[in-house]
Amino acid sequence: MSDYQIVGIMLVRNEDVFIERAIRNIVDFCDHIIITDHQSTDRTFEVCKRLADEFPKIDLRRIHAPRESAAAIEPYFGTRTWIFGVDGDEIYDPQGLKIMRTRLFEGAFSNDWCVFGNVLNVESLDRENRLAKGYLAPPCRPITKLYNFSIIENWTNCTERLHGEEVRFKEGFHIGLRRLLHTEISWEESYFRCLHMPFLVRSSQQREGLLRTRLNPDELLRIEGEGTKVGKALKASRLRLSQIFGFDWKHRKYRRGLLVEKDVSAFFPDA
């Protein structure tokens, strides 16, 4: 299993609040990191460029459409590669990832298609005291994205990296081979855990206000897909209203169960 590699793939857009911490926490876990910046207008690309200069394993690219992030990982189909998808608002436990890397290379998950870890969907973050309040997965939906590309032949019709179900597997494997670590291990004991910031400001250009969440690339594409200016405006208004009143899919999937408070010192080791 030691001949495997771990390749990180990031699709980012206006993420300059958390992006540096998100990248630094996965640098030692990954053998290679591809960062695709989708037309950021804040300091995201500048921060990523500085980190790419510091870490040669980072491949930084500007892209014009989210689909290009999917194309960036196509060369790894069928290779002995774990693809690790990370967003700009996802901060992993770096010490836990050291254990996870060892387990991956020992073959603990070699027959699994994907592995889901523990997540805290953060509602508020106290950086000074290293405390976060939020909602755990489970019962929330996990957002960790770690895929075993050695058992697939192709993955078609991806609107962005690691999205879509049209995967062609090698003989003996199938899409149901999902390892749900978040149901096996508690948050405190987990070695594959993530702070997810869907309800916090993620860009220096973003302002606190009624909108607690942001539109995802696929939602923005749906707006652009409307044929007229009026259609685009109506689609955008419906999505924005659902965010304001908490009816959007992020609120439904990431605010389940009890609001809990956790010590997050492990995620900010040099804070």
Q: What is the pTM of this model?
A: 0.87
Binned average pLDDT, 10 residues per bin, the chain of 271 residues: 89 96 98 97 97 98 94 97 97 98 97 97 94 96 96 92 92 96 97 95 77 57 66 62 60 90 95 61
What CATH number is attached to the domain comprising 168? 3.90.550
118 and 156 assigned to the same domain: yes
What confidence score (pLDDT) does residue 210 get? 44
Is 26:33 a contact under the CB 8 Å cutoff? yes
* Cα four-point dihedral sign 233, 234, 235, 238: positive
233 and 194 assigned to the same domain: no
129 and 58 assigned to the same domain: yes
How many independent structural domains does the chain possess?
Answer: 2
Strand runs labelled E in 55-143: 58-63, 81-86, 90-92, 114-116, 118-126, 131-137
Is residue 38 exposed (0-12), middle (13-18) or buried (19+ Cβ within 10 Å)? buried
95 and 127 assigned to the same domain: yes
Does 69 map to a domain? Answer: yes
Does 46 map to a domain? Answer: yes
Does 23 map to a domain? Answer: yes
238 and 155 assigned to the same domain: no
Does 207 map to a domain? Answer: no
- Pull the structure tokens for residue 167: 């995967």
C-alpha 181: how far from its chain's center? 16
| 3-state class (DSSP) for residue 132 | strand
146 and 111 assigned to the same domain: yes
173 and 62 assigned to the same domain: yes
240 and 114 assigned to the same domain: no
167 and 235 assigned to the same domain: no
Helix (H) or strand (E) holding 22: helix 19-24
58 and 183 assigned to the same domain: yes
| 3-state class (DSSP) for residue 5 | strand
Does 212 map to a domain? Answer: no
28 and 99 assigned to the same domain: yes
181: containing domain: 5-202+258-267
Does 45 map to a domain? Answer: yes
